[in-house]
Copies of this chain bind each other. A is one copy, B any other.
Amino acid sequence: MKLDLKKELTKQWFKNLQEIICKNIEEIEKNKIFFKIKNWSRNKKKDEGGGESRLLENGKVFDKVGVNFSEVYGKFPKELKSKIPGIKKSTDFWASGISIVMHMKNPHVPAMHFNTRYIVTSQGWFGGGMDVTPCIKDNKLKKWLHKNLKIMCDRHNKKYYKNYSKWCDKYFYLQHRQETRGIGGIFFDYKKDNWEKDFSFVKDVGLEFIKIFNEIILKKNKVRWTKTDKENQYIKRGRYVEFNLLYDRGTKFGLQTGGNIEAILMSLPPLAKWK
């Protein structure tokens, strides 16, 4: 398949997925509160792409949820040369993706994160994943999540679940506190085995995320919570901030490549506390 078509197809998928998920979230909010949409450009002077970031705040179910789509291109900063595959000869790149972080009102509903992307330099690869961060310990939820992710992964390749859930645990780890961010999920990058199969997997990850966040909300949003639960959530959100600013590659990548600050930092919680 021609590269241009691959770009077009992945981009369309990410854009459509953004649309579907936003509608879904607004329905969960009983269509009483809606996303605010902002379009942004990477460069005001020349065309280097941009994105559409959508933000819903202060819902009955969602405290804050950002759903970002972007399609950007141009040249990588030279500092990244050794860090990105396929830019030795030319630093030209193209990238498109969707990225979501949900911070929930009810502390029994975990924070949820999902992202998939397709990046093209002289090579092309997929990356992405999802992970779940409860602030109240819940082993049943952890088991349920991983069972579902395994079933989805197994449809594509029996090795995926083991590899990608391990990668997730390793990636979402707060070294300085020696603790995991949450209960894991899946994470993958530099995926370029077979474009059709990889793309089909990437699409499935998106659909699985929809299923998972809907079921988790259905299960957990009815549970009553106390002031102490909410305080614990604020503290846990502090950890989320620490992870995103100290370690997250997406955040660093975005800040270094002149991405949109608002869109990049949309992953930060509305309110965090430190003791």
Contacts and interface: CB of A to CB of B under 8 A. Distances in A.
Interface stretch (A83-91, A125-133, A261-269): A261-269
Interface of A: 57, 175-177, 234, 238, 241-242, 245-246, 255, 261, 264-265, 268-275
A216 to B, nearest CB: 23
Nearest to A265: B274
7 contacts: A57-B275, A176-B255, A246-B255, A268-B274, A270-B273, A271-B271, A271-B273
B176 A271 contact: no
Contacts of A176: 255, 261, 264
A55 to B, nearest CB: 9
B234 A241 contact: no
Nearest to A246: B245
A177 B261 contact: yes
Given A241-B241, A245-B246, A261-B176, A234 B271 contact: yes
Contacts of A177: 261
Contacts of A275: 57, 270
Nearest to A269: B274
Nearest to A245: B245
Contacts of A245: 241-242, 245-246
Contacts of A246: 245-246, 255
Nearest to A272: B272
A103 to B, nearest CB: 10
A118 B273 CA distance: 32
A131 to B, nearest CB: 19
A219 to B, nearest CB: 28
Contacts of A265: 242, 274
Contacts of A271: 234, 271-273
For the complex of A and B, list the 10 residue pairs with the smallest distance between their C-beta atoms, beginning with the closest.
A245-B245, A268-B274, A176-B255, A271-B273, A245-B246, A272-B272, A176-B261, A241-B241, A177-B261, A270-B273
A274 B273 CA distance: 12
A269 B271 CA distance: 11
A274 B55 CA distance: 12
Interface centre among A176, A177, A234 (most CB of B within 10 A): A176
A234 B177 CA distance: 25
Nearest to A255: B176
A16 B180 CA distance: 39
Contacts of A273: 270-272
A42 B255 CA distance: 33
A195 to B, nearest CB: 34
